[in-house]
Amino acid sequence: MVLVDIGNTFYHIWEDGKIYNLTNPKKFNGDIFYISVNERKEKEFLKLNEAVNLKNFVKFDTSYTNLGIDRIMACKTIEDGVIVDAGSAITIDVMQNNVHLGGVIMPGISAFKKAFATISDKLKKDFVDIDFNKLPNNTAEAISFGSIGSIILTINYLKKNKKVYFTGGDGKYLSKFIDGIYIKDLVFRGMIKTIKEDL
């Protein structure tokens, strides 16, 4: 079985328990299941593969209009908690008693960096490690504090007394700042649960 999460930047692949990313699609053998948030990449993938779109089968309790299928899959295995999927964009969703209460979307860490670069060449800086107990004393620290700080503040505001679950490319990094659990394959776990229960 092969699972494919077609994102804005990469094809995220789960194959025999191994997870890896592809920039371009390839042909797979066996049973293939996928989700997609990128129509162009999805079309390219389907030229090479016959696959089942899990979006057509998933059952999920939410009143959020047009909730992305990637967010649904990340949330589907969490009964109660806050799910942070930190990729090209950062999504923060709240689950309670298997019901999705809502969530927010923020720029991803790389999007923050790109935004600063469009303002001024002087703001083209790599992010640095920051200590939230100290005021920044240089530009790199200042933009790092402002960007990462806004993400952390939003998560803390939404989490209240709930446990936080991180996933996505920058999930492990963000989990350093908040007591939470990093689960690399959270979206794929949701896909597997959908195949077992809903398909």
CB-count exposure of residue 62 (10 Å: 0-12, 13-18, 19+)? middle
Question: Do the beta carbons of residue 30 and residue 16 sit within 8 Å?
Answer: no
Question: Do the beta carbons of residue 187 and residue 167 sit within 8 Å?
Answer: yes
Catalytic residue (one of 5, 70, 85, 170): 70
Q: How far apart are CA 110 and CA 42, in angstroms?
A: 23
Q: Which amino acid is at 105?
A: I
Q: Please indicate whether residue 185 is annotated as part of the active site.
A: no
| Distances in whole angstroms, Cα of residue 171 to Cα of each of 27, 97, 101, 106, 108 | 29, 24, 21, 14, 10
Give the relative orientation of helices 69-76 and 186-197 as an angle to the nearest 10 degrees: 80
Which alpha helices (H) appear in the chain, and where do they start and end? Answer: 39-48, 69-76, 109-119, 139-159, 171-174, 186-197
Instruction: Please list the active-site residues.
Output: 70
